[in-house]
């Protein structure tokens, strides 16, 4: 049997955890986990270990958290590991050429889209916001140009009409872990095939900005629904109801039609918080979070405040 690889793993958030766990349990050796530095989190701004660092500690794996990837001390540490392969999964920074040149088999990346579609930082969010019905993961070779390297494997997955980006990304992380391990086995055995991307079909998936969360109720109901699904877990879609800024977590598309002006609250009682969209369709808000409070059902939200049908929500 061909011996396993010595792997340097670059990954930081929850998306990078399943693949790291899979490699740590495999016949391959993870000689180091490279994560971004720990940063303050939450309301208390306490410094918290990154998800990959936490997992690596459970397995006794070495963790490196360089501030600068071009730092000579860090590069020397990586060279001293004599790694066969580098693996990247949502590390969060572009690897410099000096780093990419170290592993003898190069570096692979787990990308959460069917390349060349959605190259960039937010492929899952962009796919959900666009209303795509299919996505997937691609194992690709890392090159200097962003997400443009040749592809070694892909796996497809449908996107449900009501699924959020959180749900889709969680599933893709697990899919990517299995696909990565199979791809590494093919690479070690010399049977991996690399397929160039068609650059003419490439689309970009830039980082999500907070300003994108403002809901424009003149838009069609489905587009608003997709925005709500795609802007999770951050920044979330936002509206102002009776002067209070609220974050919208879940909506339901209805078949109901209305002639009311877009953004008009049609009903606000019990479980029913219904708002007119720009195409004459009605969107129901079923989970909402008043600013500074927890997310709650529409019923709990309406029980705590008077919302008058006929008024309009503001985009905030």
Taking each helix axis from N to C end, the angle separating 17-24 and 51-59, rounded to the nearest 10 degrees, works out to 10
Confidence of residue 1 (pLDDT cuts 50, 70, 90): very low
DSSP 166: H
For residues 196 and 218, state if they share a domain. Answer: no
Alpha helices (H) in 69-129, listed in sequence order: 72-80, 97-100, 123-129
- pLDDT higher for 1 or 101? 101
Mean pLDDT of the chain: 96
CB count in 10 Å sphere of residue 120: 16
Q: Give the mean model confidence (pLDDT) for residues 56-62.
A: 97
pLDDT digits (tens, 9 = 90+) for 149-176: 999 999 999 999 999 999 999 999 999 9
Separation of alpha carbons 309 and 275, rounded Å: 9
Q: Is 138 within 8 Å of 153 (Cβ atoms)?
A: yes
For residues 89 and 141, state if they share a domain. Answer: yes
For residues 146 and 231, state if they share a domain. Answer: no
Q: Is residue 76 domain-resident?
A: yes
What is the structure's pLDDT at 2? 56
% of the chain residues with pLDDT over 70? 99
The sign of the torsion formed by the CA atoms of 93, 226, 15, 49 equals positive
For residues 124 and 30, state if they share a domain. Answer: yes
Give 131's strand partners: none
Q: Examine the fold and report which residue of 158, 181, 201 is the final residue of a domain before the chain moves on.
A: 201
What is the structure's pLDDT at 43? 72
For residues 263 and 172, state if they share a domain. Answer: no
Q: Is residue 71 domain-resident?
A: yes
Both tokens assigned to 167: 């749900």
Q: 3-7, 113-117, 223-227: lowest mean pLDDT where?
A: 3-7
Give 265's strand partners: 275
DSSP 119: B
pLDDT digits (tens, 9 = 90+) for 247-283: 999 999 999 999 999 999 999 999 999 999 999 999 9
For residues 160 and 279, state if they share a domain. Answer: no
% of the chain residues with pLDDT over 90? 92
For residues 215 and 266, state if they share a domain. Answer: yes
What is the structure's pLDDT at 233? 96
Q: 4-18, 29-43, 101-115: lowest mean pLDDT where?
A: 29-43
55 pLDDT higher than 60: yes
89 pLDDT higher than 60: yes
- Cβ contacts of 272 within 8 Å, gap of 6 or more: 284, 298
For residues 150 and 109, state if they share a domain. Answer: yes
Q: Give the mean model confidence (pLDDT) for residues 275-297.
A: 96
What is the structure's pLDDT at 305? 87
For residues 267 and 296, state if they share a domain. Answer: yes
Distances in Å between the Cα of 75 and the Cα atoms of 90, 117, 273 are 20, 32, 56
Q: Is residue 310 domain-resident?
A: yes
What is the structure's pLDDT at 44? 73
Q: Is residue 1 domain-resident?
A: no
Number of domains in the chain: 2
pLDDT digits (tens, 9 = 90+) for 184-206: 999 999 999 999 999 999 999 99
């Amino acid at each position: 049997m061909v011996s396993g690889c010595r792997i340097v793993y670059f990954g930081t958030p929850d998306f990078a955890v399943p693949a790291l766990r899979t490699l740590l349990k495999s016949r391959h050796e993870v000689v180091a986990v490279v994560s971004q530095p720990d940063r303050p989190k939450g309301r208390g701004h306490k410094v918290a270990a990154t998800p990959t660092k936490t997992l690596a500690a459970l397995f006794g794996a070495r963790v490196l958290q360089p501030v600068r990837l071009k730092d000579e001390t860090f590069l020397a540490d990586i060279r001293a590991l004599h790694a066969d392969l580098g693996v990247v999964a949502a590390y969060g920074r572009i690897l410099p050429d000096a780093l990419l040149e170290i592993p003898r088999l190069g570096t692979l990346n787990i990308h959460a889209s069917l390349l060349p579609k959605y190259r960039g930082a937010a492929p899952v969010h962009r796919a959900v916001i666009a209303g795509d019905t299919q996505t997937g993961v691609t194992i690709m070779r890392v090159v200097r140009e962003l997400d443009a390297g040749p592809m070694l494997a892909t796996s497809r997955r449908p996107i449900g009409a009501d699924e959020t980006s959180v749900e889709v990304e969680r599933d893709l992380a697990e899919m990517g872990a299995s696909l990565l391990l199979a791809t590494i086995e093919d690479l070690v055995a010399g049977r991996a095939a690399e397929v160039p991307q068609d650059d003419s079909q490439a689309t970009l998936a830039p980082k999500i900005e907070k300003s994108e969360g403002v809901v424009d109720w003149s838009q069609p109901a489905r587009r608003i629904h997709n925005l709500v699904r795609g802007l999770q877990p951050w920044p979330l879609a936002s509206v102002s109801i009776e002067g209070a800024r609220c974050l919208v977590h879940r909506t339901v598309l209805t078949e109901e039609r209305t002639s009311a002006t877009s953004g008009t609250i049609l009903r606000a009682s019990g479980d029913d918080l219904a708002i007119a969209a720009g195409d004459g369709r009605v969107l129901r808000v079923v989970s909402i979070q008043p600013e500074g409070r927890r997310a709650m059902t529409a019923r709990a939200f309406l029980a705590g405040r008077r919302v008058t049908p006929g008024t309009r929500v503001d985009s905030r």
